[in-house]
Amino acid sequence: GARIREGDCAVLKRDEVFKAVSVLRRRKIIFEKQWFYLDNAIGHIYGTTFEVTSGGSLQPKQEVEETPTETKEAGTDNRNIVDDGKSQKLTHDDIKALKDKGIKGQEIVQQLIENSTTFRDKTEFAQDKYIKKKKRKYEAVITIVKPSTRILSTMYYAREPGKINHLRYDTLAQMLTLGNIHAGNKTIVMETCAGLVLGAVMERMGGYGSIIQMYPGGGPVRAATSCFGFPKAFFDNLHEFPLSKVQSLLSGTFTTETLPAEPEENALGEEESNGLGEERQISLQETEEEPATEAPMEVNPAEEQDTMDIHAEDVEFKENREKENRENVREKQMKQWERRKKLKEAAALLRERNADGLIVASKFHPTPLLLSLLEFVAPSRPFVVYCQYKEPLLECYTKLRERGGVINLKLSESWLRNYQVLPDRSHPKLTMSGGGGYLLSGITVLLEQGSSDCSTSEALQGEEPSSKRCKLQDLPC
Amino acid sequence: MSFVEYGDTIKDGDTAIVFLGHESMFPVKVQHGTVTQTKYGVIRHSTDLIGKKYGSKVTCSKGGWVFILHPTPELWTMNLPHRTQILYSTDISIITMMLELKPGSIVCESGTGSGSLSHALIRTVAPTGHLYTVEFHQQRAEKAREEFREHGVEHLVTVTNQDVCKNGFGVSNIADAVFLDIPSPWEAIGHAKSALKAEGGRICSFSPCIEQVQRTCLAMEEYGFTEINTLEILLRVYNVRTISLQIPDLGKAAEDNSSTGFDSSSPSHQGSSCANLQQGTVQFKSGVPLREVVGHTGYLTFATKS
């Protein structure tokens, strides 16, 4: 199996809570109110469960036989259980003392059980629940898993839904399927979901084919993409193209010479700080509602490195600054040249107008995006648009019908229900997500020159039969 | 054309989808000299299909016309000949993601059934992965083999005709993921475990009844699977309609137009709804749920071998 290596992108898991981190030595990680170092995890197989021991080091958890197989004593109902707040004989200070002594979580749980006067009177199910709850609190075990779309999309939806426009993981799953994303495709992706949708598409394409990412502003955001830990080769056929140049590309006036000479760093910085500001607000709101909210996700190592370099430069190498500046200018010119070359490649790919699919999941109104970007897609190819809200997709649906060149339009939403399955205690989970967004999907067809496809057989049998419309209007009053 | 690679033009031997209109389509095997009947008239393959671009409008003999679409696993799912109950794309999508499938994945599946999920799995694991699918019904196994051949994906799939509960998947320590859609999945959990790679993988079992799920979960726990998680996914489809609601006559219109609360000149009403005071109606766009929808397909239980 794959082993955890230094520099890897990994995901920490505790129960249902995830956190993406980069595996670095001597680096303190805070996760679920605990701190530890990942040093000892290096070399172990992904999927290994660790215990946090003293000094924040991780030790692989030994499989232990469940101990409470003593005299099983349990009540049948709760008619005599009174909440007097005194059933636990250990005080808060006692528990803290146990913890400070470095006693294993397992033993603390055992002590709590022994010192609970009501435990024996609880029903077997209630005892089970009590133990599970205490274990969760005192037995600090974390599993280190390999990142995947499953894990990262679940993590993002739980931790930072605002960054991904509340795109729930089952909705993302629908997009990948409806879009027929697979190896060999030439896919156009327009997203403002921190690069999560891009990463999901890259995973499904496995490095085969090409992706053109359309981006707003100064550059594409790929914070989530970097959490996947893709091999370098996956980025060879990943292209990017600025949204602001789409019109000129479609009208044939596009040249790379007209490219505004924005320094990449600035543009990226701006985009990221915007995202962060927004995020801070959101996480503040969340903390108010739910005090147990996690610290924001791990910054990716590259970003961290950058800020550290700048800091060091400020303090130590002030005198070398001018020289460095000159080098920077040269470097910037090189970067600019590279960027132009890449832009030309992306433009050429789009100009062929033969993409195998279009995936849109952004904070922008979907209609103008669709009307323009569909021009780059070949006939008989699927497209999928995500929107957090239904109404813009209603309009998009109408406008696409007016434009023509699309069939099989479908507006949908998926519902997800999780279940607790235990002997004699199976039921749907108490809470479920209220909404995971909406999708509009369809298939492109050859658009006949000069005629809008309003009179297609599809339109006749599709949207609103005129007889029905009459009925609605002719309702008796 | 193949189900794992797009092609531009329709060729002899292709499987194409004839699209007649909303929710009305069927697959056709393209063959020189063959004709296909539709309600809009005849399609002659040699002249009307072969050499044309996928996505073209094809005029039939009676003057009506249809679109010819490139096949995809999703279109196939909607049009395939049923030999069993099948899995639809909504369940398939979450199965694919939760099993962490991608190019190169090795997957075991049972039963093959009508091959609805199989086509989607093959599409996702191509070009370097493989599907081992087990079907205990000999005719169905044979039919599936034939379809995979016709669809140009036979190199990506091995169909085995045996009982997965008794004889397993016919492979061991090879799979990244296992999928079970059989009446008694708990009897196949042991075989599933040995089919999965030694270093681990993912499993999913699909069952319509909760009792089946309970037995499966117990078996999974017994065999040391972790992260056992049961879920259900449902699709809500909306029809996009323009709705007109009448404004009730409260006797106010004559006195003061604005008191109806629908000032047609206000910009807030120009987007989604518009009021027509003369006719006494307000129009708006709505996504209307279908009158009847699928309320339950099956429970999906996922777990990890680690």
Chain A interface, best mutation among B69, B78, B186, B297, by max A CB count within 10 A = B69
Looking at CATH, the fold of the domain delimited by B9-71 is given as Vcp-like ATPase; Chain A, domain 2 (3.10.330)
Contacts of B120 in chain A (CB under 8 A): 177
Contacts of B210 in chain A (CB under 8 A): 421, 426
Whether the per-residue pLDDT at A45 is higher than 50: the answer is: yes
Is residue B181 part of an annotated ligand binding site?
Answer: yes
Residue A142, min C-alpha distance to chain B (Å): 13
Which residues lie across from B241 on neighbouring strands? B286
Which of B123, B128, B285 has its CB closest to that of A394?
B285
CA separation for the pair A46, A61 (Å, rounded) = 14
Name the CATH code of domain A149-257+350-444 (choices 3.40.50.300, 3.40.50.150, 3.90.1150.10, 1.10.10.10).
3.40.50.150
Q: Do the first three CATH levels of B9-71 and B75-234+295-305 match, i.e. the same topology?
A: no
Backbone angles phi, psi at A393, to 5 degrees: -75, -25
Q: What percentage of chain A has pLDDT greater than the value 90?
A: 53
| A470 Cβ under 8 Å from any chain B Cβ | no
Whether the per-residue pLDDT at A303 is higher than 60: the answer is: no
Whether the per-residue pLDDT at A148 is higher than 70: the answer is: yes
With an 8 Å Cβ cutoff, are A415 and B233 in contact?
yes
What residues contact residue A212 under an 8 Å CB cut-off, 6+ apart? Answer: A186, A187, A188, A189, A239, A240, A241, A346, A349, A350, A355
Chain A interface, best mutation among B60, B102, B205, B297, by max A CB count within 10 A = B102
Phi and psi based region of residue A368 (left: phi greater than 0; alpha: psi -120 to 50; beta: remaining): alpha
Contacts of A416 in chain B (CB under 8 A): 231-233
Specify the length of chain A in residues. Answer: 477
Residue spans per domain, chain B: 9-71, 75-234+295-305
Whether the per-residue pLDDT at A261 is higher than 70: the answer is: no
CA separation for the pair A250, B195 (Å, rounded) = 51
Exposed/middle/buried for residue B222 (C-beta within 10 Å: 0-12, 13-18, 19+): exposed
Contacts of B5 in chain A (CB under 8 A): 184
Whether the per-residue pLDDT at A30 is higher than 60: the answer is: yes
With an 8 Å Cβ cutoff, are A183 and B103 in contact?
yes
Is residue B14 part of an annotated ligand binding site?
Answer: no
For the residues of A72-89, what is the DSSP string, one character each?
---BS-STT----S-SB-
For residue A379, what is the DSSP state? S
Residue A230, min C-alpha distance to chain B (Å): 13
Which of A203, A413, A446 has its CB closest to that of B102?
A203
Chain A interface, best mutation among B2, B67, B213, by max A CB count within 10 A = B67
**What is the CB neighbour count within 10 angstroms for residue A468?**
12
With an 8 Å Cβ cutoff, are B287 and A394 in contact?
yes
pLDDT digits (tens, 9 = 90+) for A404-454: 999 999 999 999 999 999 999 999 987 667 789 999 999 999 987 654 444
Residue A344, min C-alpha distance to chain B (Å): 25
Residues 337-356 of A with CB under 8 A from B: 354, 356
Check residue A342 and give its pLDDT: 92
Closest CA to A254 of A367, A349, A377: A349
Which residues lie across from B196 on neighbouring strands? B175
Residue spans per domain, chain A: 3-64, 92-135, 149-257+350-444
Residues 301-340 of A with CB under 8 A from B: none
**Cβ pairs A/B, distance under 8 A:** 213
The token pair that represents B36 in the structure block = 């296909």
Give the residue-averaged pLDDT of A93-102: 81
The ipTM is: 0.94
Which carries the bigger pLDDT value, residue A465 or residue A429?
A: A429
**C-beta separation of A53 from A59 below 8 A:** yes
Closest CA to A166 of A362, A327, A347, A448: A362
- Three-state secondary structure of chain B: CECCECCCECCCCCEEEEEEECCEEEEEECCCCCEEEECCEEEEHHHHHCCCECCCEEECCCCCEEEEECCCHHHHHHHCCCCCCCCCHHHHHHHHHHCCCCCCCEEEEECCCCCHHHHHHHHHHCCCCEEEEECCCHHHHHHHHHHHHHCCCHHHEEEECCCHHHHCCCCCCCECEEEECCCCHHHCHHHHHHHECCCCEEEEEEECCHHHHHHHHHHHHHCCCEEEEEEEEEEEEEEEEEEEEECCCCCCCCCCHHHHCCCCCCHHHCCCEEEECCCCEEEEEEEEECCCCCCCCCEEEEEEEC
Give the residue-averaged pLDDT of A313-318: 56
Contacts of A417 in chain B (CB under 8 A): 231-234
| Highest-scoring range by mean pLDDT, A116-120, A128-132, B76-80 | B76-80
pTM, 2 dp: 0.85
Tokens 């989808």 correspond to B17
| A280 Cβ under 8 Å from any chain B Cβ | no
Is residue B135 part of an annotated ligand binding site?
Answer: yes
Determine whether domain A3-64 maps to CATH 3.10.330: yes
Contacts of A354 in chain B (CB under 8 A): 8
Which residues lie across from A123 on neighbouring strands? A75
Residue B238, min C-alpha distance to chain A (Å): 5
Chain A interface, best mutation among B17, B72, B78, B203, by max A CB count within 10 A = B72
What is the band of A292 on the pLDDT scale with cuts at 50, 70, 90? Answer: very low
Contacts of A456 in chain B (CB under 8 A): 21
pLDDT digits (tens, 9 = 90+) for A372-414: 999 999 999 999 999 999 999 999 999 999 999 999 999 999 9
> pLDDT tens digits for chain B (306 residues)?
789 999 999 999 999 999 998 779 999 999 999 999 999 999 999 999 999 999 999 999 888 899 999 999 999 999 999 999 999 999 999 999 999 999 999 999 999 999 999 999 999 999 999 999 999 999 999 999 999 999 999 999 999 999 999 999 999 999 999 999 999 999 999 999 999 999 999 999 999 999 999 999 999 999 999 999 999 999 999 999 999 999 998 887 566 555 545 554 444 444 456 666 667 899 999 999 998 888 899 999 999 998
Is residue B184 part of an annotated ligand binding site?
Answer: no
Check residue A299 and give its pLDDT: 43
Closest CA to B279 of A51, A475, A331: A475
Determine whether domain B75-234+295-305 maps to CATH 3.40.50.720: no
Chain A interface, best mutation among B121, B238, B279, B286, by max A CB count within 10 A = B238
Which chain B residue has its CA at the smallest distance from A380's CA?
B55
E strand or H helix at A22: strand A17-22
Q: Do the first three CATH levels of A3-64 and A149-257+350-444 match, i.e. the same topology?
A: no
Round to the nearest angstrom and report the end-to-end CA distance of chain A. 71
Contacts of B228 in chain A (CB under 8 A): 421
Which of B24, B90, B123 has its CB closest to that of A414?
B90
With an 8 Å Cβ cutoff, are A408 and B22 in contact?
yes
Check residue A348 and give its pLDDT: 97
| A434 Cβ under 8 Å from any chain B Cβ | no
Give the residue-averaged pLDDT of A316-337: 80
Residue A241, min C-alpha distance to chain B (Å): 24
> Reduced to 3 states, what is the DSSP secondary structure of residue A326?
helix
